[in-house]
Structure 1
């Protein structure tokens, strides 16, 4: 009996040492340089030139979120949300971290200037702050209040704004602001400008898409997901039924929306065609004159970027780029030169991939949400389809791994069947959620090792308790036998 326990204790100890070593090596390997902008060249010609001298197509604006708990401080690359402008060398040309989270960012028309953007941002407020801030409460056609709140805000609220930013001067102007009574949900994360006065908004708090006149603060059109989807659909999302995360106004008046928790993209009025994806983010519509109709989608739950072309009345997948280095992509734009700008949220980076699947540019930034390349048109409006440029589908995405990612890939191969089996058991959403709340240095292998560390520690602790109980029982039995 004692020899069996000794063997088990030795096995437990080896498992703890190995798993602890993997976690520690992952932490040590993630040096501070890994969170700095990649390709940041000190004293380069680009750095010595003013922002106005740089061509807009050499500048990329990125918005990021934050995993900082409300009203608490935090450290690390994901502690603060920001809107930041990078040049081709990865140097920062503009930075602002006023709000708790920055979401969608869109380029404005050339008439507004090549360096003017609009973004959605939000801030969480405590109850007293909620009472002091106002909002532009939009009213529907019947005069009822559509934004703002009449509910109890004792737990705080979220204030969401649409702001216009001149990146050259740093001047900002609030286009619209709204307050939500739920402190745990940001109601809007994406809007699309229709004209000077009207915006189409994806409202995930109310599970709807609506058109808002920001000048009169009235809703001129709205669509509720409940008119199309049943309440037993949407998966296990009791308080986030649709998670409407993207909306785009198309030519001809159609509206495209991403209903993430239903794994669908819908076209609203006049078309109602749908294509099923797994947790889609940020779909972009590629025009017919550029090789479309086609949809470029960041398929976050499957850790890939895909493109679907409309052919013979159905949507067919024509291109894919993915790999172990890609972790929860939430936006992808096809640039006019045929390259694809990808926002890799859990990978803490934004990268540019050419038609062969090779990453030709990247910057490291904590928890990015959206990105736009200045001077290239909004999203993928000026980009060609994958079929037109004969883009190669890169299933593994191994061309874009950095040296550190190569090391992690080697660790995954070394883990062998265990790693593959664990990945198979975890759905994309579960794994993405785990990586989202984990530190930036922790990849899948480190996360798996941490789980093993916790599991083995728990089993060993329970085993020791059981063994001590058995020993105590044997002693009592022996003492009782002696007394007899």
Structure 2
């Protein structure tokens, strides 16, 4: 009795807990979904639904020195384009499924050699799974003429397309073999004979890197150096290694180690800078660390001498040191190609969907004619600081806060999402899309709970009432 009076008094005094109605909860869900839809709609309206040569020509970019050639293997559609100093489209082609490496060709100043790939039928490689054809083609940007140099067809297992080759002359290619058996080889395209082969399993355990054998090492870059050694990017083992064709891997020259992510984290396109240009040094697109980074070789070890990133950088996959000391970078999930000067300022940038590699024609192959950061006296630059290390103004701090929130999502997950999402999705809108999907699932669970409560409990309750009324009536009759 006393307890019931106390409960009644508390309710009348305003202490009764508030339980929102279904209508209120549904309105709350709608409002949250509208808020989360805003960045998605904004990204869609700003970027459009597709990239084309016409759309990419209507851009505003500061002038650059020379023609820039860019490839892409992302967003379900590969493409290669050549752009003038102010961004005017000089050439565009998207006939292959994926485009990867692009290098200037000795056949002409407006000629390049690129690696591309296509998914083809099972019959192409006598396989139970689909096949993938990788090709090396020479392209004359002036005439548009394409000449097939070499092709390779095999079953498609993971990232099975060849990403990089180095042309050695006389029809010979140095190939980064991304497929099982992972390795590096030299093929004579005139005879299709393999002249030399190094297999990763000679020096790497199957327990290292990725899933063996499907995507174990993901060797994505190869470069023959001036002294005949071969530099190899073993992406999934977070290492750049050096090979001697006679004696094999030179372990004391390796940069990085498996899962030592503070050094390298699933890198792309490392460029070796010779001693004559201030090296030995390696300029690397440190992809999962969202930066371009350079290491200098000194006293038998590698020391980091320079790094560059900003708050927008998402999964860079190429960095070239130009002869003028600038660095050309592809920001794959940032959908841009940018040029950074010696003061770490962006002096040229261009929108491009998921750029893989970029070449500035007339400057040499990749970083061949570039100077090391140490010789140039470059200072590191990271997001949230200017070249003198002071903080940005309030607007930049706000932008940094947004991207700090983005970076709470593990890089591998965010970069994978951006790679498979439509091209117009930005990092902010990608996270909004994930949150939106989570809210929709939560709402459905609420609706299922309410439906379950109604179906499972309302009928027994009504039956109980009818039974209670009957019992009460019978009882009165007895009295």
Asked if these proteins are the same fold (TM beyond 0.5), I'd say yes
Structure 2 distance, partners of 1:114, 1:266, is 31
SS at match of 2:373: coil
Structure 1 distance, partners of 2:429, 2:91, is 34
Structure 1 distance, partners of 2:66, 2:188, is 34
Distance 1:13 1:39, change over 3 A: closer
Which residue of structure 1 lines up, in the alignment, with residue 464 of structure 2? 480
Which residue of structure 1 lines up, in the alignment, with residue 261 of structure 2? none
CA displacement at 1:481 relative to structure 2: 4.8
Aligned match of 1:3 in 19, 26, 33? 19
SS at match of 2:314: coil
Which residue of structure 2 lines up, in the alignment, with residue 463 of structure 1? 446
Deviations 1:170-224 (A, max 9, x none): 3332221221132764441100012223221101112111111222321121111
Q: What TM-score results when the alignment is normalised by the length of structure 2?
A: 0.81
The answer to whether structure 1 residue 28 and structure 2 residue 8 are counterparts is no
| Larger-Rg structure | 2
Structure 2 distance, partners of 1:181, 1:322, is 37
CA displacement at 1:398 relative to structure 2: 7.8
Deviations 1:24-51 (A, max 9, x none): 2332333589984478579x9x9xxxxx
Q: What TM-score results when the alignment is normalised by the length of structure 1?
A: 0.80
Distance 1:237 1:349, change over 3 A: farther
CA displacement at 1:397 relative to structure 2: 7.2
Distance 1:268 1:93, change over 3 A: same
Aligned match of 2:196 in 202, 218, 221? 221
Give the count of matched residue pairs.
Answer: 429
Distance 1:431 1:408, change over 3 A: farther
Question: Unaligned stretches of 5+ in structure 1?
Answer: 47-54, 69-78, 131-148, 401-405
The answer to whether structure 1 residue 447 and structure 2 residue 463 are counterparts is no
User: How large is the Cα RMSD of the aligned pairs?
Assistant: 3.1
Aligned match of 2:31 in 14, 25, 47? 14
Deviations 1:349-405 (A, max 9, x none): 2111111221111222222211111111111011011111122322017889xxxxx
Which residue of structure 2 lines up, in the alignment, with residue 52 of structure 1? none
Distance 1:159 1:331, change over 3 A: same
The answer to whether structure 1 residue 247 and structure 2 residue 222 are counterparts is yes
Aligned match of 1:327 in 303, 314, 321? 314
SS at match of 1:341: strand
Distance 1:395 1:185, change over 3 A: closer
Distance 1:122 1:408, change over 3 A: farther
Structure 1 distance, partners of 2:405, 2:45, is 27
Q: Is the 8 A contact 1:411 1:445 kept in 2?
A: no
Question: Unaligned stretches of 5+ in structure 2?
Answer: 1-16, 257-263, 388-393, 469-479
Structure 2 distance, partners of 1:349, 1:38, is 14
Which residue of structure 2 lines up, in the alignment, with residue 200 of structure 1? 174
Aligned match of 1:279 in 266, 270, 275? 266
CA displacement at 1:90 relative to structure 2: 0.7
Aligned match of 2:115 in 117, 120, 134? 120
CA displacement at 1:236 relative to structure 2: 5.0
Q: Residues 64-143 of structure 1 correspond to what in structure 2 (within 5 A)?
A: 64-68=72-76, 79=77, 81-109=78-106, 112-127=107-122, 130=124
Q: Is the 8 A contact 2:75 2:422 kept in 1?
A: no
Structure 1 distance, partners of 2:430, 2:332, is 17
CA displacement at 1:295 relative to structure 2: 0.5
Aligned match of 1:352 in 336, 339, 345? 339
CA displacement at 1:2 relative to structure 2: 7.9
